[in-house]
Structure 1
Amino acid sequence: MSSKPFKRILLKLSGEALMGDQTFGIDTATVTRVADEIRIAKEAGFELCLVVGGGNIFRGLAAAEQGFDRASADYMGMLATVMNALAVQNSLERLGVDTRVQSAIPMSSVCEPYIRRRAERHMEKGRIVIFAAGTGNPFFTTDTAAALRAAEMQCDALFKGTSVDGVYNADPKKDKSATRYESLGYDKVLADNLKVMDASAVALCRENDIPIVVFNIREHGNLARVLAGEGVSTIVRNQ
């Protein structure tokens, strides 16, 4: 997958990845399964931090399209990511994995505020850090937050867990003839408007030379396989 092994990884999970077969909310069994995969990756020697989306609870952009003030809707979406982060933390700690949740919107009764040096120290001590509340600013997605935190934490790669096994030239759920890329460059993603991450996130990864690995998080055991270079995925990097 890469010319150099990845050691420190930022894992981006969509909120939808926590829904399971539900249409809304958090499915406990699904969160536990995802947490177990993260545990296995950590025990394999990887340093991990996470960014979790909030689309299973509230989508700011969708609400704005229905008449909500965009900034207010985005803040509501950020709060949804905190709920998801706490759910993932709970599942990880039940499995014996030491974690910390850091929120870009300070809420000291619930979790730590985001402080880069403190997050780095947690990771040095072997803890998994879960970054919540996006960037703390409206008009930015959790994809952009993931790229930003990956750069700040000096991660070797950004792994995006989705419901498909990579990047395709068309939506594979709608177009059966869609073909999957094994690898491609940031510029092609941006030029062809491929739905990997939003453009600002891709550009930030390009500027900091952070590969983006897209894989299917819904497939049991897939995170460990992809980290080992064995699973099915697409890697986006400088070419």
Structure 2
Amino acid sequence: MEHRVEILDHGTRVFTAPGAGFGTDALLLSRFARPRPKDAALDLCSGCGILALAWHDGGHRGPCTAVELDPDASALCAAAATHNPEGGHITALCGDLRAFCMAGPERGRYDFAACNPPYFTGGIPSPDPRRAAARHDGSCTVEDVAACAARALRDGGKLVLCHRPERMAAVFCALCAAGLEPKRAAMVRQTPGARPWLFLVEARKGRRPGLVWEPDVLTGEGVRYGGG
């Protein structure tokens, strides 16, 4: 499969192709929260593996499973893991997260999970099947993501995800219904006072309510945290 190479801050290579790239939202998510260096981590809807590779770029070396339904995108993740130094801790798993971790040693194994899920529930899907699957939630709803993370995470484990502000109520409801309590959140805006175009949330399995809103993430002059 023909691909392009994107280089992250510390030299990690990410392989991308049409329909299997990444955007600002994935990079924001990777910076909002990341696994500790030896955590067992899970990248759901991994695409080309951008979250797993961004964590690797930041020093993560614990076992990391990148679950992706599209075989071509999963192959790009596997190739990048092979070509990056010390990338062997990343396992690209081509499969459906709705069937992942139903039983066996994977269940309750992970310390940290993240997902940049399909955002759209309506509208006209792209004629490109791969792009449609990546953008529309016909094969992966936020409820599916929450249920998978709840199975995979240990007690107290974290799930972080990003989504569009208009879906915030549905996202929070799905997390709480799965036993994942939202603990940190932030809005993403181009400039102070602008309409938010994304939000980020971190939830923990089996914990009490208590949500902290963090300063806005501003992207108008590159990606940075804080207001003003």
Structure number with the higher helix fraction is 1
TM-score normalised per structure 2 = 0.37
TM-score normalised per structure 1 = 0.36
Higher relative contact order (CA 8 A, sep 6+): 1
Structure number with the higher strand fraction is 2
